[in-house]
Amino acid sequence: MSDWGPVFIAVLLFVLLTPGLLIQMPGKSRFVEFGNFQTSGVSILVHSIIYFALICIFLLAIELHLCRLWKDATMADWGPILIGVVLFILLQPGLLFALPGNSKQMEFGHMKTNGKAIAVHTLIFFGLYAILILAVHVHIYTG
């Protein structure tokens, strides 16, 4: 039986913590800006650290899972966390690419985002994360 808990948590955090959608820390002109659809390398780093902290809390400390049939309580699975953080960073709209871009179908490294790009990147994140966690079963256990 597959455990969809990490997938739902990772996708929800991806959307909520995408710099520029709800909040950007640090912003372009102030420390915190809301809904500006801008991003930067520093804000992606800050949001990635927050993402890492929250996903660790939800998956390791609180142990939010939808299926506990196979879970070994003595082993911590870092696979969903590390995969989530790497995908969170690489798929931020505007960092490497934005699909769709603001003025073209695809734009590279322009540090801007938009609602459509966030939606497309969220779908890409969901697909890759679900494949790696549920189909390929990437797990990194520590005891």
Task: Tabulate helix, strand, coil % of the chain (nearest 5).
Answer: 45, 10, 45
Alpha helices in 31-109 (DSSP H): 41-56, 79-90
- What pLDDT, in 10s, does the model give residues 117-140? 999 999 999 999 999 998 888 877
Which portions of the chain are predicted below pLDDT 70? Answer: 1-2, 64-75, 143
**Nearest CA to 110 among 20, 16, 13?**
20
Q: Where are the domains of the chain?
A: 5-26+33-142
Q: What is the pLDDT of residue 121?
A: 97
The residue with tokens 């739902």 is 8
Residue type, 96: L
Q: What is the pLDDT of residue 73?
A: 54
- What pLDDT, in 10s, does the model give residues 92-108? 999 999 999 999 999 99
- C-alpha 124/C-alpha 102 separation (Å) is 18
